[in-house]
Amino acid sequence: MRTLKLTVAYDGTNYVGWQRQLNGPSIQQAVEEAFLPLAGGARPPVVAGAGRTDAGVHAMAQVASVNVEFALATDAIRRALNVRLPYDIRVLSVEDAPLGFHARFQAKGKTYRYRIVTTEVMSPFDRLYAWHAPERRDVDAMQRATEFFAGRHDFASFHSGEGLMNGTVRVLDSVRCAVVPGGLVIDVVGDGFLRHMVRTIVGTLMDVGAGQRAPGSIPDIIARRDRRAAGPTVPACGLTLVSVRY
């Protein structure tokens, strides 16, 4: 038995997310099925991802772990997987990891990036990887608002879904809003994320930029622990998992 650590990049447009689901194809399913001929059994091995990215969300460097019993070299495994995977999923690297390494449970933090195109006309080449929001925003106000997210908080107001076994408290290292040519980039770094949490943080910041909320309203939104208190959940296409920290 050996444990492998995979780094995977994917365009999430045509998938229901990382995790296997009954309502459509997932990244996890595609990677596991690519392993099947290598494993030589009736069932593919279970590939665990560091983050359960939602439908339409992309990844530059998702990390995954899998236990296997074959002795192929890691470079040969990478090549074999990419031959069998669709072109919108690529295994960037395969490494031997300590036996028992788990990509999700041992992750210390993740960085997500949300891209917003603010030009009047959006390039068709950006349409799958950014949200088009050309309305004028007060970026200074948005940047002041980002300061209130850092730290350990109950982010129930930014969670779309039912209650969780491990609660809704998370630690954010930082939220940064930067102006880039043609738009904005919002980076969110933290120890873990709730369903739609990053996209709701971005939606709330965009409300601040539109003058619908004050920058100083963020602590009250957090304290209310009510999804109705926060802003909208922005489209999935603009969100990318950039990196995972161990």
What are the residue numbers of the active site? 54
Contact between 31 and 6 under an 8 Å Cβ cutoff? The reply is yes
DSSP 16: S
Nearest-CA neighbor of 189 among 140, 148, 130, 243?
Answer: 243
Its sign, for the CA torsion 191, 196, 198, 201, is: negative
Q: Dig out the tokens for 8 from the structure.
A: 């995977």
DSSP symbols for 112-130: EEEEEE-SSS--TTTTTTS
Its sign, for the CA torsion 17, 185, 64, 173, is: negative
Q: Give the Cα separation of 209 and 133 in Å (integer).
A: 11
